[in-house]
Chain A
Amino acid sequence: MTVSTTNIVRVKRTARVNLRVLRSPAAVISIVWLVGLVIASVTGPLQQDLTAVLQGPSAAHLLGTDELGRDLLSRIVTAAAPTLLIALIAPIVAVLITTPLTLWAARRARTESVMSRISEIVLSLPGMVIILAAIAAVGTNMPAIMAIFGVLLFGALYRVFIGQAMSLHKQLYVEAAAVDGVKPMAASLRHVLPNMSTTVIVQFVLLFGAAIGVQAGLAFIGLGPQPPEPTWGGMIQAASRFIFQQPWMMIPTGGVLALTIIAANTLADVLSGGTAMPPPLISLRRRKRRAAADAATPESADATVAAAASTVEHEPSTGGLVVRDLVLGVDDGPDLVTGVSFTVEPGTVMGLVGESGCGKSVTSHAILGLLTPGLSVRSGAIEWDGVDLAAASESAMKRVRGHEIAFISQEPTRALDPMFTVGSQLTSAIRRLRGVSKREARDVAEQLLVDVGIIDPPRVMKSYPHQISGGMAQRVAIGLALAGTPRLLIADEPTTALDVTVQAEILGLLRNLVAERDMAIVLVTHDLGVVADICDQVSVMYAGQLVETGSVRDVLVAPEHPYTMALLAADPHAAVQLTGATHLASIPGQVPAPAEWPSGCRFAERCRFAQEECRSAVPLEPRADGVGQVRCIRRDEVRGRQEEWCQPVTSGGAS
């Protein structure tokens, strides 16, 4: 399971929305505008000067005067408070009706379908006609009209709320509450409503803006409060009558209405916090900055020369991947990965192994230039075909990503867009990456699905991602990754979310791809069984650095680093003969957070073999047996003692 280990900072959640609003200048201006209008409206005097009618702006009348010589500014301001306060009625009524009904309907399929029908009926009602009919019946009682408008908003609002409420209801913590014996409505109020509060608030503010517009519209056609009572709609109407004598009048009257509605929408925008667009998982902009920074620093030139020299010295590999001394870090924060180097030859599989929080996923993302915003490559090189991808421009990366290096993730469903069929996603990727016609792309797509072991490609092509099983989705995701005929596949925990049977099948598929296409794979995993099954080379990572590398046989059969030994002992599949054991071997404690790495051996804290000498920095040294490296100062003493990890650890408390 990939855990975001970069999230070290403690944030108080409750304060977050408020802070976000106050940090945004747009939101602050919007609030000042809305509140200021109300305050000014209560305090502002009404002035009239019959000698100065239809005037433009002047020192005496800042926004000019209307046809009866009344000061426009004071009239606009006076009309503000009733308009804004009465406009609040509509969203209040709408939210008060819709929220409880939504929470109720989200729990029961039958209620939900009835509610949906009702909301469709409400949606199909001609709102304006009903409002006009109501005015005919009750007169121009604006609060009552706004309440009716609020009821009419139910249809649209229900649609917005129900989707989110239903998905929240599927969350395990709502089920857990049911197991706790919490009453259904109480569970909805405690667990569902708070999590949809942002949506409710945003909709409230948006509807508030809409209600202001409706009020103005009604006043414009003379159905609002009657003159001489100032209303925005009424003033706009007056302005339209005198548009040829004094066009200026339209500007302040129309402008204030527009600005108020914009203020409400801006506020809604900030409150939603950009949830309309999901936060980017990856940052593409970052790359440019680093390239620019490199060019700016003079010593980077030397570094490039040195890197180039070491390339020559390293025997330029035959089109493989060479990662050299890669350092990744949080901007203005600690390093996440320090000095990682490895080589992946064509047609081989390199396993990147370690617990969550060891930096293996980040390393794999860096190869593709797809780091989470806030992370960046600090130094080191990622060489692919003689090009340093760590310093490459975004356009150079585009030629590599998808075409030569592809990616498959732990969650196959995340690689697939739920809105499009499998077929359309595959063909569009193939057309983009191979530049072929639509027809040709379809044939290629079908062939790819056959290649990844799908028996009935035409049916799968027509399916949407949610209609296929997890294992099938991972096959499709692999097919998608193959769309550009890549020579290197980065697979981040590709089987972790699958059951053992499907895992065995997917591993078989990957093995065939390596054999048939001479493809290389960097496989990120925590499961040493998966490594044994498919990898040729292994790099074991702990707390952001390599601790042991070598061939799969050397590392798994004769591990030299205590961490590798501990991982092996903790693998439940390895402990076949341990029937009747009271305890499984486990590694006490947790991987330390990047900011808390000790200067010496980073594993010493949890290592049963650790001694005082382990507190000093440990270099990577060649393995005693085979090709590869080990980072342990006591490796000669601990070699062959992996059985000891199966005994309970006496020192260090399990946390």
Chain B
Amino acid sequence: MSARDVGRSIVTDPIDTTAPLLEVRNLVVQYSKNAPPAVDDVSFTIARGETLGLVGESGSGKTTIGKAILGLQPVTSGQILFEGVDITRAKPAQRRRLHGDLRAVFQDPFSSLNPRRPIGDAIAEPLRVAGVPSPERRMRVADVLESVGLPRTAGERYPRQFSGGQRQRIAIARALVTDPRLVVCDEAVSALDLSTQAQVLNLLADLRAGADLGYLFIAHDMAVVEFLAQRVVVLYRGKVMEQGPADEVMRNPANPYTRVLMAASPVPDPDEQARRREEWRRMRTEWRQETGVIATPV
């Protein structure tokens, strides 16, 4: 990662180093005027180099928040500040001025790569946009492929020549090639086998070590977030249920919904799992009675 200043050298706008890396203020997203908001008054911050876990079941709005931050989803109200700069409604040209500081890894390793282009092309795309000359692009693609544990020459190959886990490594390489400050990982490991999940999570942890790199780690499974995140935000139907330091939330969840969510992940021990299952049922019934949530089977 020696060439980290290529895009950066032309930056003249001062970066407010005291501001958090990312700040989301009272974010509201509505898909249509009459629909209930998919994201309802959500606020959180991510400090430099910090990893924030965003957890919730499907329909909780976690992916929508990620998309809003990346500018892929129009925001109804609220603000998103990246390094102190308001990017809530930034145009593509303004986003390009972020110089690849804000990047993403998507869930599906199969549709996140264009099947018709060699993976080196996909990885080099942000560099091409930034006007990095071709020989240097090749060098950086090879470097970043090596850093995610793939051969330096893998850039010439096509997506279908890689397994799911390898494709997710490629997606991570694409996110990291610009040496970003924040990577939004939207369910980045949920489509993978558990053993491959562990490999990719370890890779994300290794890449973060010693670098000025933070993740917004979006997942539906608490256990997956636990390893990587320093802080956690728990969402339910677009609203923040609980947020706080990861180990605290995990060890002593304040919100009953967090407890229900945690009990839902199955553990690989039949007797312990039978106990957890009963506990999950009981807590969920209680929680539903307390909050008046109608039991809509999903």
Within 8 A of B (CB), among A501-526: 501-505, 507-508, 526
Are A13 and B197 in touch, CB under 8 angstroms? Answer: no
Are A532 and B269 in touch, CB under 8 angstroms? Answer: yes
- Cβ-neighbour of B58 out of A10, A175, A470 (below 8 A): A470
Query: A551's closest neighbor in chain B, by CB?
Result: B270
Are A178 and B92 in touch, CB under 8 angstroms? Answer: yes
Distance from B170 Cβ to chain A, minimum over Cβ atoms (Å): 11
* Residue among B70, B108, B117, B298 with the highest chain A CB neighbour number at 10 A: B298
**CB of B198 within 8 Å of the partner chain:** yes
Given contacts A7-B160, A502-B58, contact A472 B205 (CB under 8 A): no
Distance from B70 Cβ to chain A, minimum over Cβ atoms (Å): 5
- What residues of A have a CB within 8 angstroms of the CB of B163 in the complex? 3, 356-357, 590
Given contacts A499-B57, A586-B199, contact A195 B115 (CB under 8 A): yes
Within 8 A of A (CB), among B118-176: 122, 125-126, 129-130, 149-150, 158, 160-161, 163-165, 171, 174
Are B106 and A172 in touch, CB under 8 angstroms? Answer: yes
Within 8 A of B (CB), among A362-381: none
- What residues of B have a CB within 8 angstroms of the CB of A532 in the complex? 266-270, 272-273
Are A503 and B264 in touch, CB under 8 angstroms? Answer: yes
**CB of B297 within 8 Å of the partner chain:** yes
- Cβ-neighbour of A472 out of B149, B247, B271, B298 (below 8 A): B298
Are A572 and B194 in touch, CB under 8 angstroms? Answer: yes
Distance from B103 Cβ to chain A, minimum over Cβ atoms (Å): 6
Are A586 and B198 in touch, CB under 8 angstroms? Answer: yes
Distance from A105 Cβ to chain B, minimum over Cβ atoms (Å): 18
How long is the Cα–Cα vector from A582 to B224 in the complex, in angstroms? Answer: 14
- What residues of A have a CB within 8 angstroms of the CB of B222 in the complex? 500
- Cβ-neighbour of B112 out of A172, A475, A578 (below 8 A): A172
**CB of A289 within 8 Å of the partner chain:** no
Are A579 and B226 in touch, CB under 8 angstroms? Answer: yes
Are A529 and B273 in touch, CB under 8 angstroms? Answer: yes
- What residues of B have a CB within 8 angstroms of the CB of A191 in the complex? 114, 117
- What residues of A have a CB within 8 angstroms of the CB of B241 in the complex? none
Distance from A626 Cβ to chain B, minimum over Cβ atoms (Å): 13
- What residues of B have a CB within 8 angstroms of the CB of A505 in the complex? 297-298
How long is the Cα–Cα vector from A578 to B227 in the complex, in angstroms? Answer: 8
**CB of A176 within 8 Å of the partner chain:** yes
Within 8 A of A (CB), among B245-298: 247, 250-251, 260-261, 264-273, 277, 280-281, 295-298
Classify chain A's interface size: 35 or more
* Residue among A1, A585, A590 with the highest chain B CB neighbour number at 10 A: A1
- What residues of B have a CB within 8 angstroms of the CB of A357 in the complex? 163
- Cβ-neighbour of B297 out of A190, A455, A527 (below 8 A): A455
> 1/0 per residue B213-242: CB within 8 Å of A?
000000011111011000000000000000
**CB of B36 within 8 Å of the partner chain:** no
How long is the Cα–Cα vector from A505 to B277 in the complex, in angstroms? Answer: 10
- What residues of B have a CB within 8 angstroms of the CB of A472 in the complex? 297-298
Given contacts A528-B194, A532-B266, A586-B198, contact A176 B57 (CB under 8 A): no
How long is the Cα–Cα vector from A568 to B198 in the complex, in angstroms? Answer: 11
Are A176 and B100 in touch, CB under 8 angstroms? Answer: no
**CB of B35 within 8 Å of the partner chain:** no
Distance from B278 Cβ to chain A, minimum over Cβ atoms (Å): 11
How long is the Cα–Cα vector from A472 to B261 in the complex, in angstroms? Answer: 19
Are B264 and A454 in touch, CB under 8 angstroms? Answer: no
Query: A590's closest neighbor in chain B, by CB?
Result: B163
Are A504 and B266 in touch, CB under 8 angstroms? Answer: yes
- What residues of A have a CB within 8 angstroms of the CB of B205 in the complex? 582-583
Task: Kindly count the residue-residue contacts between A and B in the assembled complex, taking CB atoms under 8 Å apart.
Answer: 227
Within 8 A of B (CB), among A586-606: 586-587, 590
**CB of A23 within 8 Å of the partner chain:** no
**CB of B104 within 8 Å of the partner chain:** yes
Distance from B67 Cβ to chain A, minimum over Cβ atoms (Å): 8
Are B269 and A173 in touch, CB under 8 angstroms? Answer: no
Are A526 and B193 in touch, CB under 8 angstroms? Answer: yes
Are B264 and A500 in touch, CB under 8 angstroms? Answer: yes
How long is the Cα–Cα vector from A527 to B268 in the complex, in angstroms? Answer: 8
* Residue among B72, B108, B265 with the highest chain A CB neighbour number at 10 A: B265
Given contacts A1-B164, A530-B266, contact A502 B103 (CB under 8 A): no
Are A1 and B193 in touch, CB under 8 angstroms? Answer: yes
Query: B191's closest neighbor in chain A, by CB?
Result: A1
How long is the Cα–Cα vector from A508 to B281 in the complex, in angstroms? Answer: 10
**CB of B196 within 8 Å of the partner chain:** yes
- What residues of B have a CB within 8 angstroms of the CB of A578 in the complex? 227
How long is the Cα–Cα vector from A507 to B297 in the complex, in angstroms? Answer: 13
Query: A504's closest neighbor in chain B, by CB?
Result: B264
Query: A454's closest neighbor in chain B, by CB?
Result: B297
Are B193 and A572 in touch, CB under 8 angstroms? Answer: no
Query: B110's closest neighbor in chain A, by CB?
Result: A1
- What residues of A have a CB within 8 angstroms of the CB of B17 in the complex? none
**CB of B34 within 8 Å of the partner chain:** no
Are B269 and A557 in touch, CB under 8 angstroms? Answer: yes
How long is the Cα–Cα vector from A472 to B297 in the complex, in angstroms? Answer: 7
Given contacts A171-B111, A191-B114, contact A553 B270 (CB under 8 A): yes
Within 8 A of A (CB), among B186-216: 191-199, 201-202, 205
Distance from B274 Cβ to chain A, minimum over Cβ atoms (Å): 8
> 1/0 per residue A166-202: CB within 8 Å of B?
0000011101111111111000001100110000000
**CB of A134 within 8 Å of the partner chain:** no
Are B267 and A590 in touch, CB under 8 angstroms? Answer: no
- What residues of A have a CB within 8 angstroms of the CB of B271 in the complex? 553, 557
**CB of B113 within 8 Å of the partner chain:** yes
- What residues of B have a CB within 8 angstroms of the CB of A195 in the complex? 114-116
How long is the Cα–Cα vector from A527 to B198 in the complex, in angstroms? Answer: 13
Are B129 and A180 in touch, CB under 8 angstroms? Answer: yes
How long is the Cα–Cα vector from A530 to B269 in the complex, in angstroms? Answer: 10
- What residues of A have a CB within 8 angstroms of the CB of B194 in the complex? 526-528, 567, 570-572
> 1/0 per residue A464-493: CB within 8 Å of B?
000001111001000000000000000000
**CB of B4 within 8 Å of the partner chain:** no
Given contacts A526-B194, A572-B227, contact A176 B202 (CB under 8 A): no
Are B174 and A573 in touch, CB under 8 angstroms? Answer: no
How long is the Cα–Cα vector from A179 to B250 in the complex, in angstroms? Answer: 32
Are A529 and B198 in touch, CB under 8 angstroms? Answer: no
How long is the Cα–Cα vector from A650 to B194 in the complex, in angstroms? Answer: 21
**CB of A301 within 8 Å of the partner chain:** no
18 of the cross-chain contacts (CB-CB < 8 Å) are A1-B164, A175-B106, A179-B104, A181-B92, A181-B126, A356-B193, A356-B196, A500-B221, A500-B222, A501-B261, A526-B193, A533-B273, A557-B269, A571-B194, A579-B247, A579-B251, A586-B199, A587-B198
New contact pairs (13) apart from A504-B266, A529-B273, CB-CB < 8 Å: A173-B122, A176-B104, A179-B70, A181-B96, A195-B116, A469-B59, A502-B58, A505-B297, A505-B298, A528-B194, A533-B277, A553-B271, A581-B227
Closest 6 CB pairs of A and B: A529-B266, A528-B268, A471-B298, A499-B220, A586-B198, A172-B112
